[in-house]
Structure 1
Amino acid sequence: MLRRKPMYLELKLDDIEEIESIQKDLETHKKQKEDVEGVGTSDGEGATGLSRDPKSWEQMIKDRIGYKPQPKPNNRISQFGNFEC
């Protein structure tokens, strides 16, 4: 295995400015996301508002995935079919 000599990386002023601009963008996106989440929870439409009522949370999930359960009949004929002796 060949060993290489360590490389010297130089940090330039342009790189520092780019890093600072990316950090500012991330902070503004984070603040916008927090503001949106705050508005949703105050109206009771956010995820925390629905977590208090498990039935509405389950209903929201079922609506999202398109699950519509059919009621099951309770008589024995429907459970085992029509087997007459």
Structure 2
Amino acid sequence: MLRRKPTRLELKLDDIEEFESIRKDLESRKKQREDVDVVGTNDEGAIGLTNDHKSREQMINDRIGYKPQPKPNNRSSQFGSFEF
């Protein structure tokens, strides 16, 4: 493998300004989401979130082709056909 000299990276004023603008935008979005979450929290909302989580998990499992199988809870399933 060939070695090359390290590349020098310079931080420019434009880069700093762009970073600051993106950071402020993300912070404002986060604050808006928190405000919406505070307004929308109640007992029904909490139940809705758990149902959404399960459906989201199910969608992900379907997308990747994972079909979870329930595990039997006996010793033969844990250790195969070994005899003790």
TM-score range, shorter-chain basis? 0.5 to 0.7
2:19 partner SS: helix
Correspondence for 2:35:
35
Cα deviation code 1:9-37 (max 9, x no counterpart) = 11000000000000000100000000011
What is the CA distance between 1:46 and its match in structure 2? 2.1
Q: CA RMSD in A?
A: 2.6
Alpha-carbon distance in structure 2 between the residues aligned to 1:10 and 1:20? 17
Instruction: Give the aligned partner of residue 14 of structure 1.
Output: 14
Q: Give the secondary-structure state (helix, strand or coil) at the position aligned to 1:16.
A: helix
**What is the CA–CA distance in structure 1 between the aligned matches of 2:44 and 2:19, rounded to whole Å?**
36
Gaps spanning 5+ residues in structure 2: where?
56-84
User: Which structure 1 segments of 5+ residues have no match?
Assistant: 52-56, 63-85
TM-score, length of structure 2 as denominator length: 0.53
Q: Deviations over 1:23-66 (max 9, x none)?
A: 0001000000000111111x54422xx28xxxxx66xx79xxxx
Aligned length: 53
Moved segments of 4+, more than 6 Å = none
Q: What is the TM-score with the length of structure 1 in the denominator?
A: 0.52
